[in-house]
């Protein structure tokens, strides 16, 4: 790749949840475009493995980070500055699935856990990255992973939908506050995406998940990949988006612009996933922080007899 095509040359980025899925794909793309990247993740073995696989040596490093812990995020920012001398980009991407229940059966502890990772984690990432950028006079970029579930209700369980709406609100508030300091804050909101964790959660392989995703997507003839989301994040991280802030970059093939309640009756049979029972998918509730932006299960998420939140 010619140096004049390196869109992040000389920049330093932190990616939470960067050891797999969208996070890993973005880590590799950022590195390929000349950025030094810190993977901040709770999966130590995978994080070290990804970091070691990126060349040249030292271009990418790993730090253990539970985004619920403010000290961990502060340490990740300190690591960026002490190791690479600066921080230009924060991609707040870590997340969990949360409980697959409707509001009537919602367990408060499970709700708290979901909000702690998505909302508290995002707020702390913005806080500490923003502080470092403002202190250094860096015209930085902060990108947060939201979801199409931050746009409409009914696309994901109650806790996840709540959390992603809050992430979008946080990004807007931060964009308004930090704009005067030259720091941009934006979101990316992907549609259903076959990441390793998403496929594991549904108990299906990537091909099956993509088949169901494509069946209900508005845009036909294309399949959403992690590379599509990473490309959007790259744009928002780069100087090419220098006047873009407070924006929610929706990557859904136009699906959220369609009102599925007023289209022809037989359309519902081809919605992305439908209810879990309709296609027999098994959901394993996520307990690790990772890239889980693809947790979209359109259909009804009311309480179902016999389903436990635990």
* Strands 248-251 and 36-41, sheet pairing: unpaired
The two tokens of residue 40 are: 């901040």
Q: How far apart are CA 195 and CA 82, in angstroms?
A: 32
- Let me know: does 167 contact 144? Beta carbons within 8 Å: yes
Q: Is 84 a catalytic residue?
A: no
Long-range Cβ pairs for the range 77-81 (8 Å, 24+): 77/14, 77/128, 77/129, 77/131, 77/132, 79/38, 80/12, 80/14, 80/38, 80/132, 81/132
Element (H, E) at 15: strand 12-16
Phi, psi angles (nearest 5°) of residue 141: -130, 125
Reduce the DSSP state of residue 12 to 3 states and report it.
strand
Give 119-160 as a 3 state SS string.
HHHHHHHHHHHHHHHHHHCCCCEEEEECCHHHCCCCCCCHHH
Name the region of 224 (left: φ>0; alpha: ψ -120 to 50; beta: rest): beta
Instruction: Enter the DSSP assignment of 10.
Output: T
Alpha-carbon radius of gyration of the chain: 19
160, 191, 202, 260: the catalytic one is 160
Q: How far is CA 1 from CA 19, 190, 278, 279, in A?
A: 24, 28, 47, 44
Q: Catalytic positions, please? A: 160
């Amino acid at each position: 790749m010619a140096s004049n095509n390196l869109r992040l040359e000389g920049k330093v980025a932190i990616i939470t949840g960067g050891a797999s899925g969208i996070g890993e794909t973005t880590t590799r793309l950022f590195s390929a475009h000349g950025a030094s990247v810190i993977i901040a993740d709770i999966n130590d073995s995978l994080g070290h493995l990804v970091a070691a696989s990126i060349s040249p040596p030292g271009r990418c490093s790993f730090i253990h980070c539970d985004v619920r812990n403010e000290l961990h995020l502060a340490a990740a920012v300190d690591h960026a500055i002490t190791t690479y001398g600066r921080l230009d980009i924060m991609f707040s991407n870590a997340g969990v699935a949360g409980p697959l229940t409707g509001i009537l059966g919602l367990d408060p502890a499970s709700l708290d856990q979901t909000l702690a990772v998505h909302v508290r984690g995002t707020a702390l990432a913005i806080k500490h990255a923003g502080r470092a950028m403002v202190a250094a006079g860096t015209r930085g970029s902060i990108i947060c992973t939201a979801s199409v579930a931050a746009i409409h209700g009914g696309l994901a369980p109650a806790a996840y939908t709540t959390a992603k709406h809050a992430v979008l609100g946080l990004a807007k508030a931060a964009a308004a506050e930090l704009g005067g300091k030259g720091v941009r804050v934006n979101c990316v909101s992907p549609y259903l995406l076959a990441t390793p964790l998403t496929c594991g959660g549904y108990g299906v392989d990537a091909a099956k998940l993509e088949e169901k995703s494509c069946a209900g997507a508005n845009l036909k003839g294309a399949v959403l990949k992690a590379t599509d989301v990473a490309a959007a994040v790259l744009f928002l991280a780069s100087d090419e988006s220098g006047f873009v802030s407070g924006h929610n970059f929706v990557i859904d093939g136009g699906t959220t612009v369609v009102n599925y309640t007023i289209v022809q009756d037989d359309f519902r049979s081809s919605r992305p996933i439908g209810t879990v029972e309709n296609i027999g998918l098994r959901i394993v509730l996520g307990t690790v922080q990772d890239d889980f932006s693809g947790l979209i299960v359109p259909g009804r998420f009311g309480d179902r007899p016999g389903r436990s939140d635990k």
